[in-house]
Amino acid sequence: MSAEPEVIDLDGRPPAESAGAAARSAIRRKTVLRLVAAFVAGVVLGGVGVSQLRDSREQRERLAAVSLVAFPDSVRDGTANGNGVLKLNGQLTVINAGPVPVTIRAASGHGTGVQVRDTGRSPVLRPGGTGSIDIEVHLDCATAFGDEPLSMRFSVETDDEMITEVSYPIATRGSIWHSHSRLWCADTRFPDGDGAEN
């Protein structure tokens, strides 16, 4: 026995252990590569998912941006009931000022002395397109056609079958409805015996 203490070489590896360490090192490298590949795949898939979500949101916002312009177009006929109330049948022209095709499902308007409602026809309007809605207008000869515009409400359906309510003010004073009603209202007698003054 020697009196010298045994020295353990920590830098060196015994030949039997070096093969096991090499296998563990290879397994670690494969695991690290798999984790890096999974991370890269997650980044790519997440980027694609976020991009598709953003595109979908932009499309929904675009479809929700419904814009209409409307004005009185024509009068086919009218009748007065003798009590100062006139009923006109005519058309309202509607322009699709929005970016997507729309179908007008309903239209109505209420103002001082004026009530308007559609008679059931539902035109499809492409972007920038124009269509006519058959309407029925009820007028009080004494109070209709003030300075305030008539507030029209439209129920509009987009291609994705979403229903949106849209409002648009219509100037009735000076319109074709106004000029035609003056003819019928001029003959109307009110309870005090005076004719309508428009």
pLDDT-derived band at 197 (thresholds 50, 70, 90) equals very low
Sequence-distant (6+) residues with CB within 8 A of 53 are none
Q: Count of H helices and E strands in the chain? A: 2, 8
Work out the widest C-alpha separation in the chain, in whole angstroms: 143
Q: How confident is the model at residue 18, as a pLDDT?
A: 59
Predicted confidence (pLDDT) per residue in 87-103, tens digit: 889 899 999 988 888 99
Dist CA 170 CA 71 (whole Å): 6
Whole-model pTM over 0.75: no
* CA count, 13 A, side-chain hemisphere, 139: 30
What CA–CA distance (Å, rounded) separates 166 from 112? Answer: 20
pLDDT tens profile 129-181:
999 999 998 988 888 777 788 899 999 988 888 888 888 898 888 888 888 78
pLDDT at 198: 41
Q: Which CATH architecture has domain 66-186?
A: Sandwich (2.60)
- Does an H or E element contain 193, and which? none
CB 186 within 8 A of CB 196: yes
Residue spans per domain, the chain = 14-64, 66-186
Run of H or E residues at 165: strand 163-170
Instruction: Calculate the CA 168 to chain-centre distance.
Output: 15
Tokens of 160: 């994705």
Which residue shows structure tokens 């941006």? 65
Residues in the chain: 198
d(CA 120, CA 170): 20
Supply the pLDDT for residue 80: 78
